[in-house]
Structure 1
Amino acid sequence: MEPRRVDLPRNPSADNIAHAHLYNNYLQDDPGTDINSSYGNYARGNTKMVLENSYFQGFKNPVIKDSTATLVQRGNLFVNTSGRNESGGTAFDPKAYYSYSLDPADRVPSIVSSGSGPTSAIGTTG
């Protein structure tokens, strides 16, 4: 039997970023399959992260941070997750830099899924 290579997907991580704002994201891992992520989102170094209205499904360690990072979570949903789910410190107010709209976290999977995958209109002219 040949050795099998299984890549661990890299999900969003921020390393030494002054203003990392992640929102309305859908992160899904499929436990029991050959490919599993080691984390969902990761704040590293001196990152200041705000993580809002995201949906995490099936993750081990959905949200992790280094001891030197700050991470504020608001409105996230966690379904069938385990392990580290961390926050701490004071980050920043994203609305001081730009305006944005938050979708309800429970609707994020359907919103993201409806706009993903093969689309016949991409690459065509009207």
Structure 2
Amino acid sequence: MYPGMDKQLINDLEKNNMLDEDGLKKGKLIIQSFSETSLKNIHKLNESIPLIQLVDDKDVLKLNDKELKRLSNYAYGLGFNKDLVNKDLIEKCHKHGLKVHVFTLNNEEEVKEMKKLNVDGAFNNNP
């Protein structure tokens, strides 16, 4: 972690007029990170920014109801490796009000597969 990075990010986003409430509500900006500390710092600076807590592959099996409830206190959603998501995981996250984003989709077949599973968003290398 880099001290002051979160504050600098918020300052840069403000300077570039990217934090207006209307744009945030329409999903024009989402911040994702594996760092829970950074996401919580960003949440303290601006609670309106949707946050995606990226989940390391080794931690997916630890996501019980108690942990999902805890994560939902600051995160808009969770981000997973596409190879690890399944219908049960997605339903558990949705039950706790968390969106599910997957990474990294690189072709149309992967997109179709994730849509069938009812994921809410995805990251890809080919916009």
What TM-score do the two structures reach when normalised by structure 2? 0.28
Higher strand share: 1
More helix by share: 2
Larger radius of gyration between Structure 1 and Structure 2: 1
TM-score, normalising length from structure 1? 0.29
Instruction: Tell which has more relative contact order, 1 or 2 (C-alpha 8 A, sep 6+).
Output: 1
